[in-house]
Amino acid sequence: LTGRRIALCLEPALAEALSGFLSSLGVEILGPLYRCRTRAGVEARLMAPEARESIRYVDPSARSIADCLDEAKRDGPIDLFIGSSWDRESAARAGVAFLELGFPSLHYRPLTAAPFLGSKGALCLVERIVEQLLVQRFERGLHDTSPDPGLER
């Protein structure tokens, strides 16, 4: 996953945890966008003062999130957008691949256990991310036989 650009729009606690985890895998985190209506109560959760500069607070409208994605795309393509079911439309408007995570989850229905917390959850989540990146690659016509450098590890 090294070098991939992934945008997040999740509840503050989940966004912080996922940002740290994916950053440790070499992913460039865009945002994160905190899904909340106000900053009240959220800033107290921030661990480091320098983190306040990179965090965007958005209202939960599809248009505002799509605008943030469009802004992030100016610096280069976004490989994946991770958000709740409410964010699927925003990803489609921005033309970005989407992975549903968090609450609510109206479309993703695994038939077996599919956690995203703990050590088993970390493996499951990485598998879902890599699968979505491969699907995106195939759908965009890049299904040649050469290896994708970002997915070799």
Model pLDDT for residues 115-153, shown as the tens digit of each residue: 777 888 888 899 999 998 988 887 777 555 555 555 554
Structure tokens at 54: 């990179």
Structure tokens at 139: 């759908």
Whether the pLDDT of residue 32 is over 80: the answer is: no
Structure tokens at 136: 């995106």
* Contact in structure between 151 and 130 (CB atoms under 8 Å): yes
SS3 state of residue 137:
helix
Q: pLDDT tens digit string along 13-23? A: 888 889 999 99
Q: pLDDT tens digit string along 37-88? A: 555 545 544 444 454 455 565 556 777 777 888 888 888 899 999 988 888 8
pLDDT of residue 153: 46
